Structure 1
Amino acid sequence: MLTWADPRHDVVVVTNNFDVGSPEPLVDLTDRWHKWGMANVKYLPRGMKGLIRGIRTVFRSRPDAIYANSFFSPRFSIVFQILNKVNRYSVLVIAPRGELDPGALAQKAVKKRAYIALSRALGITQNAIWHASSTLELKNIEMALGHKVRSIVRENDTLLPEQALPAKEPGNTLSLVSLSRISRKKNIHVLLIALCAVREVVSLDIIGPAEDESYFAECQEIVQRLPPNIHVRFVGSIEAPLIVDRLNGYDLMVCPTSGENFGHVIAESLAAACPVMCADVTPWTKTLRTGGGVIVDTHDHIGWAQSITEYSQGGAAFWRERREESRRAYSAWTAGRTEPHFFDLLENEIL
């Protein structure tokens, strides 16, 4: 978002000093401003000290708008929802990033539903503007909140290339990849259970951090039960600039997620000339049906087993053609991105 923004916008970013799952700080000095492109960035330490510093930094800036990159985060959204209810000199913008999708709400459902009910009862977000990355996400937001909301629908920005990478020649066996956080919403366990019923030789690399250790252990236990024709590796995290090149080496991205607000990994995969298999729970369904991949019609382990089996039986020539089709689908998507920047849309909305 910041990379493509007009430099006339004055932007302050307040964020954690640690990536998810990493013990290493992003910067050594958290009491100073850091420059990232057009923005001044303040990295916050953990704990109450960081929370207080973040609140003070935001309200001392006296911004025209506060953009909360979450709905349920106590540290980076809920606290500003409550404070902005008391002092409304800034417009509050909330980007729930898929948190209000049905699949996401099913996780820790009692707490989430309780906060939604409290928010509605007190009118905490009644004047907020919601950033939905697709009409599908806007529908999920309004369904979860139970009423129409003031919104801006705008796809997420990416740093991906204009053209997809050349498609590599496939090998003799189907090479799958999954790129996501290892958490229950991403449904890695459904994919692994499905592979138990696949009879063809298939390899799967699972790339991403283990966000939920107990869930990760559950997935590892399923891997131990897989038949010998299925080869699975947990790769861990890889650096963001290396992702597209890494995905270029696989025949198919498998994305068993229960829902995505945008699905950045799908865009990354198509940019790598790697088709995507997922259910009809993302904004990418039309792109995938018209050449970018495969839509799994029944989103359970039976449907996944059938879809992977059919794809694996296609053979190397079929996999090669599908990779070329995914390149064409990516080109069509990039050519159609002509929307104004989100900051410009927001400026028109609030001025």
Structure 2
Amino acid sequence: MINEKLKLWIFVDWYLPAYKAGGPIQSISNLVNRLKDEFDISIITSNTDLEETLNLKTKDVNVWVYKNGYRVMYLDANHQNQSFFKKILSENSFDVVYFNSLFSVKYTLLPFWLLRNKPIKRVLATRGMLGKGALAIKPLKKILFLKLFRFMGLHKKVVWHATAESEKNEIIEHFGIRRRILLAPNLSSIRTDALIEKKKNANQIHLFYLSRIAIKKNLFGALEALLKIKPEFKVRYSIIGPIEDKMYWEKCLKLIDKMPEHISVNYLGAVPNHKLSELLKTEHVLFLPTYGENFGHVIMESWQNGCPVIISDQTPWLNLELKELGYDVPLEKENGFVKVIEKFCEMSELEYNKWSNRSYIYANEFIENPELIEQNKALFLNENIK
């Protein structure tokens, strides 16, 4: 007798072919592709990306669309409501439900509430949203949401998915030490491209920003640092990502207009994930002084493409200099980012490519670690939470 696969349902605000919403899409896409042979996976999502509707056929909206080894339902605005969610939940069977966001009303709070008394396992990922930097952005709305979540007792009816020890500590801080928390780092896509050595001129560096343009990612702080780079160093900064916050982008543009001649800044727009590798062949270092990441797919993506990183200390990736993978700089350290950018500028092509090679090797070893797969499988295999 063949054992049936466990039926895993995933609720997420955006999914492929959406890409502008960034990390959450990659998190679920990688999870699905790495686990679809083990689980019977169904995804409930919207028919949108950031501020735009996906180019889907009308017949593929509000119905199950079968992909390579799993299925997706893309909901339009008229179907993202309690009555339709009740309908699909009552008409289908499933064993475990995974919620990919803490602060999503439509794709966490609503289905979670409908399933609150069902004897099934519910798993919730916070996706770095409990970090101090993340909570400092629109804090009132988030504080009210957390209070409501606790008041309804939903925090007791879930297995919490932490992707790092820091995230586990944040969950304990907000919801108590008695919570059921499982640690499972995010999965990344497996790449087979060989590393190609990069050209680098003396006293020059090609930096790039790869993320949504929003306060949390701190592009403004990155631009402030570039203004302080010594004139003997030549820096190119490529900004890659969708504009989520237009007012914030206007502030950034004012700084870009002030850049001296030795600093060039180019906005390349949003780029689909499958086109990134080609683009990053001519880039050297990711520069992302983020206010907080629970994992940072763009960090791993950079290493996979042989690009060391300059990031803040608000991610799980710390002590990078010792491994020659880049630098993690405290946000409050004045001129800290300036100094490490200038260090990369000073590197010879030979020295830079040593760091590039270490980044590539580290990423491959991390991604292909079989323990990560087992940790992620364990999120969905254990006991029900009533």
Given candidates 140, 151, 168, the residue that maps to 1:138 is 168
Counterparts of 1:160 and 1:301 in 2: how far apart (Å)?
Answer: 37
Post-superposition CA distance 1:165-209 (Å, at most 9, x none): 223222452100110000100011100011111122100001000
Counterparts of 2:315 and 2:379 in 1: how far apart (Å)?
Answer: 24
Give how far 1:157 is off.
1.6
Given candidates 168, 192, 195, the residue that maps to 1:165 is 195
Q: Match of 2:347?
A: 314
Contact 1:287–1:329 (Cα < 8 Å) also in 2:
no
The 3 A distance-change label for structure 1 pair 64 and 336 is closer
Letter in 2 for 1:160: I
Counterparts of 2:152 and 2:180 in 1: how far apart (Å)?
Answer: 17
Please give the residue correspondences for 1:267-282 in structure 2 after superposition, counting only pairs within 5 Å: 267-282=300-315
Given candidates 32, 36, 42, the residue that maps to 2:73 is 42
Contact 2:96–2:380 (Cα < 8 Å) also in 1:
no
Post-superposition CA distance 1:275-311 (Å, at most 9, x none): 1111222222255641211122454562212221232
Counterparts of 1:283 and 1:314 in 2: how far apart (Å)?
Answer: 26
Give how far 1:164 is off.
5.6
Q: Match of 1:98?
A: 128
Q: Which moved more, 1:3-12 or 1:101-110?
A: 3-12
Q: Match of 2:55?
A: 25
Give how far 1:265 is off.
0.7
Contact 2:289–2:331 (Cα < 8 Å) also in 1:
no
Counterparts of 1:287 and 1:37 in 2: how far apart (Å)?
Answer: 37
The 3 A distance-change label for structure 1 pair 289 and 244 is farther
**Structure possessing the higher relative contact order (Cα contacts under 8 Å, 6 or more residues apart):** 2
CA RMSD of the aligned region, Å?
2.2
Count the aligned residue pairs: 349
Letter in 2 for 1:237: A
Give how far 1:23 is off.
3.9
Give how far 1:8 is off.
4.9
Letter in 2 for 1:37: N
Give how far 1:24 is off.
3.8
Counterparts of 1:236 and 1:313 in 2: how far apart (Å)?
Answer: 29
Letter in 1 for 2:353: R
Letter in 1 for 2:79: K
Give how far 1:138 is off.
1.3
Q: Match of 1:191?
A: 222
Q: Match of 1:84?
A: 115
The 3 A distance-change label for structure 1 pair 147 and 259 is same
Contact 1:252–1:274 (Cα < 8 Å) also in 2:
yes
Counterparts of 1:131 and 1:234 in 2: how far apart (Å)?
Answer: 35
Q: TM-score, normalised by structure 2?
A: 0.83
Letter in 2 for 1:328: I
Letter in 1 for 2:154: I
SS for the counterpart of 1:231 is strand
Counterparts of 1:245 and 1:160 in 2: how far apart (Å)?
Answer: 16
The 3 A distance-change label for structure 1 pair 339 and 313 is closer
Letter in 1 for 2:195: L
Q: Where in structure 2 are there 5+ consecutive unaligned residues?
A: 1-30
Q: Which moved more, 1:146-155 or 1:329-338?
A: 329-338
Q: Match of 1:201?
A: 234
Q: Match of 2:360?
A: 327
The 3 A distance-change label for structure 1 pair 58 and 100 is farther
Given candidates 258, 270, 277, the residue that maps to 1:225 is 258
Counterparts of 1:62 and 1:171 in 2: how far apart (Å)?
Answer: 59
What is the percent sequence identity of the aligned residues?
27
The 3 A distance-change label for structure 1 pair 171 and 324 is same
Counterparts of 2:374 and 2:57 in 1: how far apart (Å)?
Answer: 29
Counterparts of 2:293 and 2:186 in 1: how far apart (Å)?
Answer: 12
Asked if residue 125 in structure 1 is aligned to residue 160 in structure 2, the reply is: no
Post-superposition CA distance 1:51-104 (Å, at most 9, x none): 34345324432322221110101110111232233x323322111211111111
Counterparts of 2:178 and 2:213 in 1: how far apart (Å)?
Answer: 33
SS for the counterpart of 1:10 is strand
Counterparts of 1:170 and 1:96 in 2: how far apart (Å)?
Answer: 39
Contact 1:134–1:154 (Cα < 8 Å) also in 2:
yes
Counterparts of 2:149 and 2:270 in 1: how far apart (Å)?
Answer: 35
Contact 1:64–1:89 (Cα < 8 Å) also in 2:
no
Give how far 1:260 is off.
0.9
Q: Where in structure 1 are there 5+ consecutive unaligned residues?
A: none
Contact 2:43–2:73 (Cα < 8 Å) also in 1:
yes
Post-superposition CA distance 1:9-66 (Å, at most 9, x none): 22211111111243443443313311122222100112x4333434532443232222
